[in-house]
């Protein structure tokens, strides 16, 4: 009888462990899907903004920045609304996701401010902000990836490349 009870307990713990691992993996993949859903819009916007800068169409830069700002904000709200799974490091990973998307949003806010600048002095300040944020992009990505790896390691799954 004791052997059956011990076996049942081990089986139950194994099933629960696998379920937690799947929940954590799915949560991580859901973030990746949200991030990937922005890629085509990011690429298109960057191409447009480069063209608008060449043509000095500053109002178009502001519009493009505002559109992306709203799109990224919608991703932030999706992450905030979705409850983190009850697994290790989930809340930390969720917070890292929000910070990462907030960073991306801030880049497009700076584009909007650049496009809305009313004189050359204001435009130079906005340009400096764009450059500062662009220089911080790799650090923001590294921070997100570190949090995601820590989340994966804590929950026993491997990140897909």
Q: Are 29 and 97 in contact (CB under 8 A)?
A: no
Distance CA 124, CA 119 (A): 9
At 6, phi and psi to the nearest 5?
-65, -45
Indicate the pTM of the whole model: 0.86
Q: What's the start-to-end Cα distance of the chain, in Å?
A: 47
Q: What are the tens digits of pLDDT across the range 38-73?
A: 999 999 999 999 999 999 999 999 999 999 999 999
Q: What are the tens digits of pLDDT across the range 97-109?
A: 999 999 999 999 9
Distance CA 100, CA 115 (A): 23
Residue 110 burial (C-beta neighbours within 10 Å; 0-12, 13-18, 19+) = buried
């Amino acid at each position: 009888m004791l052997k059956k009870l011990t076996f049942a307990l081990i089986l139950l713990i194994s099933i629960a462990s696998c379920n937690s691992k799947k929940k954590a993996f799915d949560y991580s993949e859901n973030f990746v899907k949200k991030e990937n859903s922005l890629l085509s819009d990011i690429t298109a916007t960057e191409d447009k903004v480069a063209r608008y800068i060449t043509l000095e169409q500053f109002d178009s830069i502001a519009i493009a920045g505002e559109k992306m700002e709203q799109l990224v904000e919608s991703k932030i709200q999706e992450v905030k609304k979705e409850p983190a799974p009850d697994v290790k490091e989930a809340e930390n990973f969720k917070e890292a996701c929000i910070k990462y998307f907030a960073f991306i949003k801030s880049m497009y806010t700076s584009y909007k401010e650049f496009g809305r600048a009313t004189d050359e002095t204001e435009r130079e300040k906005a340009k400096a902000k764009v450059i500062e944020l662009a220089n911080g992009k790799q650090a923001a990505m590294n921070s997100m990836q570190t949090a995601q790896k820590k989340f994966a390691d804590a929950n026993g799954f491997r990140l897909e490349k």
